[in-house]
Chains A and B, each alone.
Chain A
């Protein structure tokens, strides 16, 4: 906790704090299926204890399983042994059916209760030694999982009145779930923001349609949010999102240069990244070592940097020895 606290306060920690996105990997370490671990808070927390033993990361995660939020609205899911769940059938055939949706209560809706109780269980296990980050879907992206990507894009671009109703629903849900996470002890929430990206939506539309959604949602949070790049480069859009309220930091893509990100954000916000999580299963030891060294040396003089994996979870099939090696590299005195 002190290490991350020092970085947050801008003072020198004893060594660089680091975190790896190992939400899914807990199930691998337990030898259980991801489907089981993403359904039972006690099992999920046991997975995170195994992660802690193996890697000693400075930040732990609640379940990174965005589709569970969609399930609480009535979407049906596909569950896997070795991957997070995905939406099989969105709750609605079209965005026009919004009236039939009810905003689920995080205290009672089963999927959301699992998410919140898991965060509480991991927080309790850590007993204040490590901050716990709670992932949730960005309000501008949630409708994709409820009514399909094409339906949401079409509504956003061509039906402003309907889009406004969707926005209100997504913001209410985001604030309710995030608030429940904070009440459960999360130190911050982390949200992969997909649509606010020039490869998905052009900046003029982002500015007009999507940033207002984020601004409203983030301003109503009772705690800090970390803005996650979601699998695309984000250095180019940081100037657009730099002044969103309550944002403590940004996780950038592996292909984003830190220097450009820092220049866009100024000295204040935390920067996290940028070793690809999904590639951890594939890269050889030397390659990983070189990349870690280069990231650490690049950020040597940046007091507000936390080493982190970028992108989605570290894959299930990653060899635990790869993660042990990463831990040794990251724990070595700089």
Chain B
């Protein structure tokens, strides 16, 4: 299979919002080379090219959105995880060192701008993360409770406005109060953090990513920092 040529075709489909053609191309590749090879040799490299453009502002949100839809279509073509009909197998990757790729994501308390969050969630899933998406307007305590109960090493919060971004401070306080700092990392993102990057540290975030396609790398860096600390089990034992 000529993956290099297919990457460039897929790239063009996404840039020109040809979602159906993109899905057809991925379907053909799966039929010919299998799901995992298609992910690793076709979709991921194409998304990496798109991600570079997005980070340098040469990709629009609409194109990023199409990339997200194509990724969702691809996820839907994967085999269901036994016993969990909504989840899909992505890849049989090498065994992980450190905590599992489990993250909880939500919009901050009072924040209802779902789109950034759902794109982040899609791209994380594609990279093999189990994502617990709690939706909009989530209270700090509930978020950290869930992170602890599923053994997450990262919580991701999305906020579009300053007023709602301020509620990230409550999540920081909750993580610190339970002694989870350094084990459970706090990723933040959304329009207001892009406008005012200094807010990330001011509001207690451990880091941010400019675009949803950059989020998996950020989450992975947190997972590695959390590695060795036994985040999941300690988190559980730290639960009240």
Against A, the Cβ 8 Å flags (1 = close, 0 = not) of B47-83 are 0000000000101111101100100000000000000
Known contacts A158-B17, A205-B62: A148-B114 contact under CB 8 Å: yes
**CB of A329 closer than 8 Å to a CB of B:** no
Chain B residue contacts of A269, Cβ below 8 A: none
Tell me how far the C-beta of B72 lies from the nearest C-beta in chain A, rounded to whole angstroms: 11
Which of A36-44, A86-94, A135-143, A217-225 lies on the face that meets chain B? A86-94
CB-contact partner of A149 in B19, B63, B69, B115, under 8 A: B115
Chain B residue contacts of A202, Cβ below 8 A: 15, 59-60, 62-63
CB-contact partner of A205 in B17, B114, B118, B161, under 8 A: B17
- Contact: A86 with B112, CB < 8 Å? yes
- Contact: B115 with A82, CB < 8 Å? no
Which secondary structure dominates where chain B touches chain A? helix
The count of A-to-B residue pairs whose CB atoms sit within 8 angstroms is 60
Known contacts A83-B162, A315-B162: A201-B61 contact under CB 8 Å: yes
Against B, the Cβ 8 Å flags (1 = close, 0 = not) of A189-231 are 0000000001111101100000000000000000000000001
| Cα separation A150 to B113 with both chains bound (whole Å) | 10
Known contacts A150-B118, A154-B69, A278-B195: A83-B161 contact under CB 8 Å: yes
Tell me how far the C-beta of A241 lies from the nearest C-beta in chain B, rounded to whole angstroms: 16
| Cα separation A86 to B110 with both chains bound (whole Å) | 9
CB-contact partner of B60 in A150, A158, A201, A315, under 8 A: A201
| Cα separation A81 to B57 with both chains bound (whole Å) | 34
**CB of A175 closer than 8 Å to a CB of B:** no
Known contacts A80-B163, A205-B17: A150-B62 contact under CB 8 Å: no
**CB of A324 closer than 8 Å to a CB of B:** no
| Cα separation A231 to B59 with both chains bound (whole Å) | 17
82-122 of chain B: CB within 8 A of chain A: 110, 112-115, 118
- Contact: B112 with A78, CB < 8 Å? yes
**CB of B174 closer than 8 Å to a CB of A:** no
**CB of B44 closer than 8 Å to a CB of A:** no
- Contact: B17 with A150, CB < 8 Å? no
Known contacts A83-B162, A158-B17, A278-B195: A78-B114 contact under CB 8 Å: no
119-173 of chain B: CB within 8 A of chain A: 137, 161-163
Tell me how far the C-beta of B201 lies from the nearest C-beta in chain A, rounded to whole angstroms: 15
Closest to A281 in B: B162
Tell me how far the C-beta of A284 lies from the nearest C-beta in chain B, rounded to whole angstroms: 14
Chain A residue contacts of B115, Cβ below 8 A: 148-150
**CB of A157 closer than 8 Å to a CB of B:** yes
Chain A residue contacts of B113, Cβ below 8 A: 149
Chain A residue contacts of B112, Cβ below 8 A: 78, 86-89
Chain A residue contacts of B15, Cβ below 8 A: 202
- Contact: A199 with B110, CB < 8 Å? no
4-35 of chain B: CB within 8 A of chain A: 15-17, 19
> What are some 5 contacts across the A-B interface (CB < 8 A)?
A148-B115, A149-B114, A198-B57, A199-B57, A205-B60
In addition to A88-B112, A149-B114, A202-B15, 4 A-B residue pairs with Cβ atoms within 8 Å of each other are A78-B110, A82-B163, A198-B57, A199-B60
